[in-house]
A and B are shown apart, each in its own frame.
Chain A
Amino acid sequence: MSEANTDTDPILPLATDLPAEALALLPPEETIRLSITTDIKLDGLYGPAWLLATDQRLLAFSPDGGGPPDIVNLALAEIESLEIQDLYGSGALKARTQTTGQTIALFSKTLNAKFAPLPEALEKLIRQAQPIDDDKKILRGRLDRAYLKRRCEHCGQVIPRRMGVCPSCLESSKLLNRFLAYSLPYWPLAVTSLAILLIGTFIGLTPPLLLRTLIDNVLSPAATGASNAISLPLLGPTSASGALAYLVLGLLLINVSRNILGAVRSYLLARLGEQITFDMRRQVYRHLHRLSLNFYNDRDTGRIMASVTHDVGRLQDFLSDGLQETIRNILTILIICSLLFYLNAGLAVYVLLPTPLIVLVTIHFGKRLHRIYTPLWRRWAGISALLADVIPGVRVVKAFAQEHREVEKFESRSEDLLQGELRAARTRSLFSPLMSFLTSLGTLIIWWVGGNKVLGQSMSLGEFVAFTGYMWQFYGPVESLCRLNHRFQRAATSAERVFEVLDSQPDVDDAPDAKQLPSINGRVEFRNVSFAYEPGTPVIENLSFTVEPGEMIGLAGHSGAGKSTLINLICRFYEIDEGSILVDGHDIREVQLRSLRDQVGVVLQEPFLFNGSVADNIAYGKPEATLNEIIAAAMAANAHDFICGLPDGYDSIVGERAVRLSGGERQRLSIARAILRDPRVLILDEATASMDTETEAQIQEALARLVKGRTTFAIAHRLSTLRNADRLFIIEKGRLEEMGTHNELVALDGIYARLVHMQTEMSRIRAL
């Protein structure tokens, strides 16, 4: 939408359900520029109410439109300010004029997303309706945005906490197709496995047929003394023992080949599954490293890790187990059905009679068990949560002598769990007897109907026995197909999450014509830079400055002022919205990311050490470093002495699960890491926060060496650590408010002077 939009177009999508009697309140010459339906009326009851604005006025009314107090009619020209209030259970919009103020809309948090852009839209109209100084703020307050991501962007459906993807936008078949497309490169393998699966299933179903031949062609004639009637379908007349031997051999062959085929099939399918998931895992992990920080900020770490491990694993399980079982089950059902009809169509119909019943019962019990197990899982989780809470806090429990209370709490939850488990056990123990009864119905029918047929000579004894055999193999696959939907759904969810990662595009990426950033001197320039993490709430506003090579800049200001954002922008972790950032005259958006970050070094407040040796960690940014260089860097960082004191020296393993280093020691390792990399631009983000005075002195000394000759941006809350800075930048609400040396700024008697004053007071208090 263009900025110069002063005609009569609506600013936001209009509400469609405006009541006619309310519209009658509008003078005919005014057109509606903005209207919104809300779900709480001005009297605090639920129900639709409306807020609308023309170029002249703001109207708010409840459905009856009946007049005061539920109707608000304000001239835009009189409005002084608008305030959006984020209350505990709802939101409100309040307008003020010179002399009055009133609430013009109430809305539940469900409408936060809808109301978020409203104040700015109204501001536009108000500024059109009256001459107001651009600098005068009209808007106040802000809505909490945390809840906005809980609903699907496309359909508005609530997204379940554990899933992270919208279940109704999930198109299972499309997703699974896409997933199966990964098997295309392995099509010979896939086709072979399927062929073997087909043959194996078929062979596996032949024994009852053999049994029929055994009874009808060999045993029955022999038992009734009609030995001369013995003949086998393919061999013709033969002796009874010879026929028996053939059949035994046949059964042996069938069993041997069936099991060999089974082994080959399960290996081939497993291999197919492993190959595909290997490809997928590799692709996901590579892609994760291409994505920008924004992607990581929006999601929790556990969720991301799960998509590489858990979700990909589940897909593999589906591919190598679920899919093959499904195909085999369907094949089995089809083959048995056709065999039954081939053997005796009349009886086959009866056998299939209980099938719908079995399907229904399986589905019903599935749902019922789910209903029972969900609260049960909840109770289990409650017990784990209690343990996770109390065991680490055992010192506190003992210190306050509250053991008995914790034991009681645990026992009462344990008791709840017991009751739930017993309920589940009752349902579960009902299920399998019921199922086996239902399946035995089939047998009853065959015995009765088939038995009569045998007695009436319309069916042979062998057919009767074969029938019974097939029936037993028939219901198992039916039952397991009933549970299929759940399995597909789970695989589709996993696929969706994996594809969500793969489909995310990095916000920050090399331009197609990006060139290598040559070796720089370290001149950094911001030209009118603006940036916002969330549209509408700028963190950096129109920031301009130039830093000469080798200069050290101290960044100070309140928390949340935008200091860390500023250095994130220098590293190009995020793309700026307006303006440009230049390093030695090169716009950082026009150079390759890698070549930029190669020349920027970062020391963070909480240094991160990877699992590995001390030497590996120091050389993280320069794996080809020689041992000389590593030791030199450690010495420069004042780290050499403590490293030599470790049991394995530079070979000691550090990281999450190994030698515990103190905060100061870790920090010195991370300084060594930065020194070794020899960056031209150095960023120190609170590098000495949370250190004791002595450690801080050691680190300061190391930092002083590191800073020499490099362009440095240092953030510090403790202003004393910035005393070496050439210039100080005081950032306030994303703007550069003050700039100069310590003395200049103290003389200026502004924000910085106040901060310095406050910190001296603080240290006096501490010294007491």
Chain B
Amino acid sequence: MENSYKLTDELNLLDPTTARLYHDEFDDLVLEIAGRDPERGILVVRCFPISAGDRFIALCTRKEKELGIVEDLAALDPDSRNALADALARAYFRPQITAVYAITEEHHIPRWQVDTDRGPRTFEIRSSRRDIRVLSQGRVLIRDADGNQYEIPNYRRLDVDSRALVEDQV
């Protein structure tokens, strides 16, 4: 039997050498592929928002039709890369926790007082079991009671006090 079907052909990858991304005067992301009309108002979706945030980024129209996937952010030309990174940072607001000052519990609701790369913040967690996700290498993802997300890149690298507080919770 002739082996004509290749699974990876299903991928709709964008050629990083011909695709250009930038923000227009409406502050919308625009995708330009050589020889085609530019697509405005692009939405960016990470295929692996947790395990590989800078790879496999789907670009979609407002009506959620996928135009193609950027396999690796780093392969784009510098301007496009910055534009895409900027759009991703805006769409995925997930501050990184740099220190934990206190975790107090009232009525079984832990309230975290932390410092993040975006400034100090206090938030509450509804259920430590469901809303705190511990990944490999000490990486911790936290979703607070309102659906905001936070990340600890490696809780074992936090200062001693912060680390003790986090360890009590995970």
Query: A168 CA to B168 CA in the complex, in Å?
Result: 24
A40 part of interface (Cβ distance < 8 Å):
yes
Q: 29 interchain pairs (CB within 8 A)?
A: A40-B93, A44-B89, A44-B90, A45-B119, A46-B95, A46-B118, A46-B119, A87-B92, A88-B49, A88-B92, A89-B93, A90-B93, A90-B148, A92-B90, A103-B27, A106-B93, A108-B148, A109-B148, A110-B144, A110-B148, A112-B146, A112-B147, A144-B147, A147-B146, A150-B146, A158-B109, A161-B126, A167-B109, A168-B106
Residue contact B146 to A44, C-beta cutoff 8 Å: no
Q: From residue B79, how far is it (CB to closest CB) to chain A in Å?
A: 19
Selected from B121, B124, B130, the residue in CB contact (under 8 A) with A158 is B124
Query: A112 CA to B108 CA in the complex, in Å?
Result: 24
Residue contact A102 to B119, C-beta cutoff 8 Å: no
Residue contact B145 to A89, C-beta cutoff 8 Å: no
Count residues on chain A whose CB falls below 8 Å from chain B CBs.
Answer: 41
A160 part of interface (Cβ distance < 8 Å):
yes
B138 part of interface (Cβ distance < 8 Å):
no
Query: A161 CA to B139 CA in the complex, in Å?
Result: 25
Residue contact A88 to B119, C-beta cutoff 8 Å: no
Closest to B131 in A: A161
Chain A 85-128, CB within 8 Å of chain B: the 1/0 string? 00111101010100111110010111010000000000000000
Residue contact A89 to B94, C-beta cutoff 8 Å: yes
B128 part of interface (Cβ distance < 8 Å):
yes
Closest to A382 in B: B129
Residue contact B149 to A160, C-beta cutoff 8 Å: no
Closest to B150 in A: A89
B120 part of interface (Cβ distance < 8 Å):
yes
B161 part of interface (Cβ distance < 8 Å):
no
Query: A94 CA to B87 CA in the complex, in Å?
Result: 14
Residue contact A102 to B27, C-beta cutoff 8 Å: yes
Query: A99 CA to B26 CA in the complex, in Å?
Result: 7
Q: What are the 5 A-B residue pairs with the smallest beta carbon separation, nearest first?
A: A101-B26, A167-B107, A46-B119, A89-B93, A90-B93
Residue contact A378 to B128, C-beta cutoff 8 Å: yes
B116 part of interface (Cβ distance < 8 Å):
yes
Query: A479 CA to B120 CA in the complex, in Å?
Result: 43
Closest to A144 in B: B147
Residue contact B107 to A168, C-beta cutoff 8 Å: yes
- Please indicate the chain B residues that have their CB under 8 angstroms from the CB of A110 in the complex: 123, 144, 146, 148
- Please indicate the chain A residues that have their CB under 8 angstroms from the CB of B109 in the complex: 157-158, 160, 167
Residue contact B129 to A160, C-beta cutoff 8 Å: no
- Please indicate the chain B residues that have their CB under 8 angstroms from the CB of A160 in the complex: 107-109, 126-127
Query: A472 CA to B95 CA in the complex, in Å?
Result: 58
Chain B 41-52, CB within 8 Å of chain A: the 1/0 string? 000000001000
- Please indicate the chain B residues that have their CB under 8 angstroms from the CB of A168 in the complex: 106-107
B91 part of interface (Cβ distance < 8 Å):
yes
Chain B 4-32, CB within 8 Å of chain A: the 1/0 string? 00000000000000000000011110000
A150 with B145, Cβ < 8 A, contacts A94-B27, A160-B127 known:
yes
- Please indicate the chain B residues that have their CB under 8 angstroms from the CB of A112 in the complex: 146-147
Closest to B120 in A: A46
Which residues of A (60-101) have their CB < 8 Å from a CB of B?
Answer: 87-90, 92, 94, 96, 99-101
Closest to A148 in B: B146
Residue contact B148 to A101, C-beta cutoff 8 Å: no
Residue contact B147 to A147, C-beta cutoff 8 Å: yes
- Please indicate the chain B residues that have their CB under 8 angstroms from the CB of A382 in the complex: 129
Q: From residue A41, how far is it (CB to closest CB) to chain B in Å?
A: 9
Residue contact B26 to A100, C-beta cutoff 8 Å: yes
Which residues of B (112-170) have their CB < 8 Å from a CB of A?
Answer: 116, 118-121, 123-124, 126-130, 144-149, 168
Chain A 28-46, CB within 8 Å of chain B: the 1/0 string? 0000000000001000111
Q: From residue B86, how far is it (CB to closest CB) to chain A in Å?
A: 10
- Please indicate the chain B residues that have their CB under 8 angstroms from the CB of A717 in the complex: none
Residue contact A45 to B90, C-beta cutoff 8 Å: no
Selected from A44, A88, A101, the residue in CB contact (under 8 A) with B118 is A44
Closest to B111 in A: A158
- Please indicate the chain B residues that have their CB under 8 angstroms from the CB of A146 in the complex: 147
Selected from B27, B108, B149, the residue in CB contact (under 8 A) with A89 is B149
- Please indicate the chain B residues that have their CB under 8 angstroms from the CB of A96 in the complex: 26
A585 part of interface (Cβ distance < 8 Å):
no
A46 with B121, Cβ < 8 A, contacts A90-B148, A109-B148, A160-B107 known:
yes
Closest to A168 in B: B107
A47 part of interface (Cβ distance < 8 Å):
yes
A704 part of interface (Cβ distance < 8 Å):
no
- Please indicate the chain B residues that have their CB under 8 angstroms from the CB of A381 in the complex: 129
Residue contact A88 to B146, C-beta cutoff 8 Å: no
- Among A90, A146, A374, find the residue whose CB has the most chain B CB atoms closer than 10 A: A90
Query: A470 CA to B168 CA in the complex, in Å?
Result: 42
Query: A158 CA to B119 CA in the complex, in Å?
Result: 22
- Among B28, B127, B148, find the residue whose CB has the most chain A CB atoms closer than 10 A: B148
A622 part of interface (Cβ distance < 8 Å):
no
Residue contact A99 to B91, C-beta cutoff 8 Å: no
A101 with B145, Cβ < 8 A, contacts A160-B109, A161-B126 known:
no
- Among B108, B127, B149, find the residue whose CB has the most chain A CB atoms closer than 10 A: B108
Query: A163 CA to B106 CA in the complex, in Å?
Result: 14
- Please indicate the chain A residues that have their CB under 8 angstroms from the CB of B120 in the complex: 46
Residue contact A100 to B107, C-beta cutoff 8 Å: no
Residue contact A89 to B148, C-beta cutoff 8 Å: yes
Closest to A378 in B: B129
Residue contact B145 to A158, C-beta cutoff 8 Å: yes
A586 part of interface (Cβ distance < 8 Å):
no
Query: A92 CA to B90 CA in the complex, in Å?
Result: 9
Query: A162 CA to B146 CA in the complex, in Å?
Result: 16
Which residues of B (66-116) have their CB < 8 Å from a CB of A?
Answer: 89-95, 106-109, 116
Query: A520 CA to B169 CA in the complex, in Å?
Result: 63
Selected from B25, B119, B168, the residue in CB contact (under 8 A) with A99 is B25
Closest to B62 in A: A140
- Please indicate the chain A residues that have their CB under 8 angstroms from the CB of B144 in the complex: 110
Residue contact B92 to A150, C-beta cutoff 8 Å: no
Q: From residue B69, how far is it (CB to closest CB) to chain A in Å?
A: 18
Known: A88-B93, A151-B145. 15 other contacts (CB 8 A): A40-B93, A44-B90, A46-B116, A87-B91, A89-B149, A90-B148, A100-B25, A110-B148, A158-B109, A158-B124, A158-B145, A167-B108, A168-B107, A374-B128, A378-B129
Query: A157 CA to B106 CA in the complex, in Å?
Result: 10
Q: From residue B143, how far is it (CB to closest CB) to chain A in Å?
A: 9
Query: A746 CA to B165 CA in the complex, in Å?
Result: 67
Closest to B25 in A: A100
Q: From residue A190, how far is it (CB to closest CB) to chain B in Å?
A: 32
- Please indicate the chain A residues that have their CB under 8 angstroms from the CB of B148 in the complex: 89-90, 108-110
Q: From residue B42, how far is it (CB to closest CB) to chain A in Å?
A: 13
- Please indicate the chain B residues that have their CB under 8 angstroms from the CB of A94 in the complex: 27
Closest to A90 in B: B93
Selected from B25, B94, B123, the residue in CB contact (under 8 A) with A101 is B25
Residue contact A109 to B116, C-beta cutoff 8 Å: no
- Please indicate the chain B residues that have their CB under 8 angstroms from the CB of A157 in the complex: 107, 109
Q: From residue B144, how far is it (CB to closest CB) to chain A in Å?
A: 8
Q: From residue A412, how far is it (CB to closest CB) to chain B in Å?
A: 13
Selected from A45, A46, A102, A108, the residue in CB contact (under 8 A) with B146 is A108
Residue contact A161 to B127, C-beta cutoff 8 Å: yes
Q: From residue A413, how far is it (CB to closest CB) to chain B in Å?
A: 13
- Among A45, A106, A110, find the residue whose CB has the most chain B CB atoms closer than 10 A: A110
Q: From residue B123, how far is it (CB to closest CB) to chain A in Å?
A: 8
Residue contact A89 to B129, C-beta cutoff 8 Å: no
Q: From residue A302, how far is it (CB to closest CB) to chain B in Å?
A: 15
Q: From residue A494, how far is it (CB to closest CB) to chain B in Å?
A: 15
Query: A405 CA to B120 CA in the complex, in Å?
Result: 42
Q: From residue B168, how far is it (CB to closest CB) to chain A in Å?
A: 8
Residue contact B93 to A101, C-beta cutoff 8 Å: no
Residue contact A87 to B116, C-beta cutoff 8 Å: no
A45 with B145, Cβ < 8 A, contacts A150-B126, A161-B130, A378-B129 known:
no
Selected from A101, A161, A167, A374, the residue in CB contact (under 8 A) with B28 is A101
Q: From residue B41, how far is it (CB to closest CB) to chain A in Å?
A: 10
Closest to B124 in A: A158
